[in-house]
Structure 1
């Protein structure tokens, strides 16, 4: 006999409800819908078991609609529910602010909050001690409006590893990205938190709060929009599309299957760097439709290769 308490706190049911919760989250994640065979593969169960989970999801009140052509399921309704059993950044901040003290009990609670937060979705790993400490330091600096030094930050674009002074403003994309005002550049800059060696909080307060952007507008690759943007169109084969979507799930909302096995992305981007990187990572599997500037950027990057 199986038990299901989606909104309850009965620990006895936790293991039973996990696959069903995962199924709801999987369906809710893909904007174009998902087939039963894909769901079975995602959950690591048989097709028949996945179908049984689908029926259970419907029995607790979720209405699923099936596309008669693609046989993909979507959660019905104009406004799809935000179904997330992990703590968001705001929820983590609220809980940590309410916990005062440095006892062993306080530290255990803090660690559990992080483990059950959105940090668990970082690709290839659960939260690591160093990474978790850096996130806590950044959250504290944001709350106290302090400047920080990002120690030994590894920049892919400049091919360097150095310390960077910044005024942290907000973290997004499940804590994977920090947006901070960097005096050296005189503007808001995005930093990948996994590339930060350590975080040093300075005593001095933030000096350029009037230039901070609390909710930066970002594209599907999480780059901030500034003065210029590009309308980009790319075509992927099926394999490349699914691999790219795993890394950048937001491209799903701007991508459609134009013919069997070929997907077209059309969207406004804040930078040509991410699509250029994708084109070079998947030679022969990604085609540039537009703009010409993207082709030129890829060509310039290729010329830097020693064998070119």
Structure 2
């Protein structure tokens, strides 16, 4: 757990330092519930790795360079020996599931091996994300080819205006032209991305929707608190790596504190582990789960 939190925190710090306004040590320390001294050590680690971090007032930011201005030898890469050492350390630790895959992808992306670069290049999800990011930057429409919808159990092409990614590129929020509505798309279900070179036409309809950890969208977040067994905690972190920072241990159980925009997503998780999860807050979520379970039980009895 500690290893996961440390690595996760460093990656998150890099992301925040790359934002237009950077970040303060205090804000990052508060978010991750660590001391500012810990964040200072993380900043020094990044400097040692070659990141150029500038300070403006109390805010820190990674200095950006145009890719065409950088020579290969100036890029931050790992040698084969370094990459293998990090990978072996991960293998010996407790990091597993989606988090391990995510870390290895980023490690390989920063390694000077042609075969590792080729592995990542063939990753269709990574390629789709890169194309979508370009379309978002240029405010252009794209076609999500062969998108697999679980709800309708169908595969189709979707003409969309991509708005933003959520949950570490797990989901894409986009305006779908055919339905004239903002929808969420899971990036791993996109077959490929086709550029159209056509500009957005419906930006005024994009709205301000957000997506929670469970992939549900909305405008108003609802705070939830769950009490879980170690089994439930492990399964939640394995499926949603971002949950790691929202879980704390209390005696022999674990507490998840987060926000959701719909009870549907978190409700499915709770019902799937009914013996291992207890809803503490809010009461509305407790009532939602009870209604869903009663409806499922009624349907099951009628079918049998």
Q: 1:125 to 1:28 in 2, by over 3 A?
A: closer
Query: Match of 1:161, SS?
Result: strand
- Asked if structure 1 preserves the Cα contact closer than 8 Å seen for 2:223 and 2:260, the reply is yes
- Asked if structure 1 preserves the Cα contact closer than 8 Å seen for 2:140 and 2:197, the reply is yes
Q: Distance in 2 between matches of 1:232 and 1:296?
A: 18
TM-score for the superposition, normalised by structure 1: 0.56
- Asked if structure 2 preserves the Cα contact closer than 8 Å seen for 1:229 and 1:268, the reply is yes
Q: Hey, what does 2:276 align to over in structure 1?
A: 285
- Asked if structure 1 preserves the Cα contact closer than 8 Å seen for 2:230 and 2:254, the reply is yes
Q: Hey, what does 1:268 align to over in structure 2?
A: 259
For structure 2, the residue ranges without an aligned partner over 5 or more in a row are 10-32, 52-60, 84-97, 106-119
Q: Distance in 2 between matches of 1:267 and 1:235?
A: 12
TM-score for the superposition, normalised by structure 2: 0.56
Q: Given the alignment, which residue of 208, 217, 225 partners 2:218?
A: 225
Query: Match of 1:276, SS?
Result: helix
Aligned length, in residue pairs: 223
Q: Distance in 1 between matches of 2:300 and 2:191?
A: 28
Q: Hey, what does 2:5 align to over in structure 1?
A: 26
Q: Hey, what does 1:297 align to over in structure 2?
A: 292
Q: Hey, what does 1:241 align to over in structure 2?
A: 233
User: Could you say what the CA RMSD is over the residues aligned between the two structures, in angstroms?
Assistant: 4.4
Q: Hey, what does 2:56 align to over in structure 1?
A: none
- Asked if structure 2 preserves the Cα contact closer than 8 Å seen for 1:145 and 1:205, the reply is yes
Q: 1:247 to 1:143 in 2, by over 3 A?
A: same
- Asked if structure 1 preserves the Cα contact closer than 8 Å seen for 2:5 and 2:245, the reply is no
Residue 269 of structure 1: how far off its partner (Å): 1.3
Q: Cα deviation per residue 1:180-229 (whole Å; 9 max; x = unaligned)?
A: 1223443332211111011112242211122335x854434354332x55
Q: Cα deviation per residue 1:139-190 (whole Å; 9 max; x = unaligned)?
A: 2222222111111212233333222221012223332221212234433322
- Asked if structure 1 preserves the Cα contact closer than 8 Å seen for 2:167 and 2:213, the reply is no
Q: 1:76 to 1:229 in 2, by over 3 A?
A: closer
Query: Match of 2:184, SS?
Result: strand
Q: Distance in 2 between matches of 1:177 and 1:269?
A: 15
Q: Hey, what does 1:212 align to over in structure 2?
A: 206
Question: For residues 121-270 of structure 1, what are the structure 2 equivalents within 5 Å?
Answer: 122=101, 126=105, 127=120, 128-212=122-206, 217-221=210-214, 223-226=216-219, 229-258=221-250, 260-270=251-261
Query: Match of 1:137, SS?
Result: helix
Residue 237 of structure 1: how far off its partner (Å): 0.4
Query: Match of 2:262, SS?
Result: coil
Q: 1:187 to 1:272 in 2, by over 3 A?
A: same
Q: 1:297 to 1:202 in 2, by over 3 A?
A: farther
Query: Match of 2:291, SS?
Result: helix
Whichever structure has more helix as a proportion of its residues is 2
Q: Cα deviation per residue 1:96-150 (whole Å; 9 max; x = unaligned)?
A: x7449xxxx99xx9xx9xxx9xx99655974443223212221222222211111
Q: 1:170 to 1:304 in 2, by over 3 A?
A: farther
Q: Hey, what does 1:6 align to over in structure 2?
A: none
